Structure 1
Amino acid sequence: MSFSSTDTYIVSNALQLAVDAAVALEKPLLLKGEPGTGKTRLAQELARSMDTELLHWSIKSTTKAQQGLYEYDAVSRLRDSQLGSDKVHDIANYIKPGKLWQAFTAKQRPVLLIDEVDKADIEFPNDLLHELDQMAFHVYETGETVTAQQRPIVIITSNNEKALPDAFLRRCFFHFIEFPDEQTLRQIIEVHYPNIQQQLVTEALDLFVQIRELPRLKKKPSTSELLDWLKLLLLDPPKPGQLREWMSDEQRQSLYGALLKHEEDFPQLRYLRQG
């Protein structure tokens, strides 16, 4: 297979090659990059381009690797036993397949997204090593072994909140999504707003890039936040060549809230160069 840009998602040549390489090597693709650079969206668009199922496993601080395999509901079994239900004689009634189980048994090769793996405990990635290597796991309660009918395409995202174990990294194909250059940003904007005036795009990108370059920002605005800001601008577009003046209006300055997410960052706007 060869993944490329779609009608709703622009992918760089480097990212396209990384997807193809991970698939060819049959290794999970580990994606890092600034929040908002499209890591999660990549898995969604990959599944859509393949016309296959996306299994999205969103990781939290409390997530355990076992939950990706299956969960045994002992409480429900105990309750049914007290009520005299015949269900209790088959323990399989209380086994709930997790996302890996679903991926292993899917009829069509799915895309499995393990999203924000670095949010979990440091041992979480290591706990998945065997299953990702062998594409199989054992269900102790029933004695069965679940083996992948076909190897799913695994996308793993990380925001670098925690370092990942070396043993885990060795088993992945790694790619860092660089922040898009101006040409790519223009392509992304064109996909989302095909009829937007190019003069507005030019002015907005110039101001956006300057904001990202401001010193000591706690969080630089991302691509998704640029798109949000443009959506607001299109509701009441400024006249050509007047975006900076239009945004300097005291009431409209609150629109910078689409780009800046910390109150400490707003005073930095005074350092913007004049157009």
Structure 2
Amino acid sequence: MNHQTFQGSETYVASQELLSAVNISMALEKPLLIKGEPGTGKTELAKSIAEAFGAKLLIWSIKSTTKAQDGLYVYDVVQRLYDSQFGGKAVDNIEQYVHLGQVGAAFESEERCVLLIDEIDKADLEFPNDLLWELDQMEFTIPQTGKTIRAKHRPIIIITSNAEKELPDAFLRRCIFHYISFPDEELMRRIISVHYPKLEQDLIDQTIAAFYWVRSLPAVQKKPSTSELIDWIRALTYSGIPYPDILRKIPFAGVLLKKNEDLDALEAAKARRDRGY
């Protein structure tokens, strides 16, 4: 897998710039940091890379309470204490209470795998810096046992961020960075064709026109994403709405927009448009 290049997959359409970023990160053996609007396929990228290479995918989903060590290993001191008091078994073997996290599992993998560190910006500000050594050196030591875990194969590391927080400069320097721009109409048509290969052209034209019109409205705060467009098309095909009504009425707008304020803004914009303003 070291000498392979990523060309996308049957289920994931990527721009040439994104494909190049993936392949450069693999060639330089650096993590690929992906930013972009929610719903632009950041998480799906890692799944697609694993699928394309037939590799195992390990996902570490970051939360506000996540600590860097959680991805390396967890020492279950509570279980050891319980076993020492009530378990009736020897507790001298500390290794039985040490469980590898997703980073540790990626290092221990017998084959090169894909490691997704998802939404790293949800954690506290020190979280990225706390991983610098491990991601650089591809190893870490477990103090409780003295054992050093070294990567048998350097994993392909994809890190996603929704830009909720700025990431430290020291961390950024160690990554290849790519921002996934929102798909233009041409790329969006390719994405739709992957999900709906037999969709009628008139339906595609109407949904594309309506979707980008809704996204263009300044008053809409949370712009609908690609995934919401895919869901909207499914709703439209189930309902049998006449194609001319799609752009005119924007039916099932609650599939696209998820805030009352945005739905109100859409209705106001439709009223202005119908009046010719």
Q: Same fold (TM over 0.5)?
A: yes
2:269 corresponds to which of 265, 268, 271: 271
What does 1:1-275 correspond to in 2, within 5 Å?
A: 1-83=4-86, 85-245=88-248, 247=249, 253=251, 255-269=252-266, 270-272=268-270, 273=273
Quick one: percent identity of the two aligned structures?
A: 53
Question: Which letter maps to 2:81?
Answer: L
| 1: CA distance, partners of 2:215 / 2:181 | 14
Contact 1:31 1:174 in 2 (8 A): yes
Moved more, 265-274 or 168-177: 265-274
Contact 1:138 1:144 in 2 (8 A): yes
Structure 1 segments unaligned to the other structure (5+ residues) = none
| 2: CA distance, partners of 1:151 / 1:6 | 22
| 1: CA distance, partners of 2:87 / 2:220 | 62
Please give the per-residue CA displacement for 1:87-110, whole angstroms capped at 9, x wherever unaligned. 402000100111111000101100
Contact 2:8 2:49 in 1 (8 A): no
Contact 1:6 1:49 in 2 (8 A): yes
With over 3 angstroms needed to count, the CA separation of the structure-2 counterparts of 1:82 and 1:223, relative to structure 1, is: same
Shift of 1:237: 2.3
SS in 2 for 1:96: strand
SS in 2 for 1:20: helix
| 2: CA distance, partners of 1:195 / 1:201 | 10
Shift of 1:84: 5.3
| 1: CA distance, partners of 2:107 / 2:164 | 29
Contact 1:70 1:97 in 2 (8 A): yes
Moved more, 259-268 or 53-62: 259-268
How many matched pairs?
A: 269
Shift of 1:267: 1.9
Contact 2:9 2:51 in 1 (8 A): no
| 1: CA distance, partners of 2:181 / 2:95 | 46
Question: Which letter maps to 1:256?
Answer: A
Using structure 1 for the length normalisation, give the TM-score. 0.95
Shift of 1:218: 1.6
What is the Cα-based RMSD across aligned positions, in Å?
1.4
| 1: CA distance, partners of 2:96 / 2:232 | 49
Please give the per-residue CA displacement for 1:206-234, whole angstroms capped at 9, x wherever unaligned. 01001001013221000000001000000
| 1: CA distance, partners of 2:51 / 2:19 | 15
Contact 1:32 1:176 in 2 (8 A): yes
SS in 2 for 1:150: coil
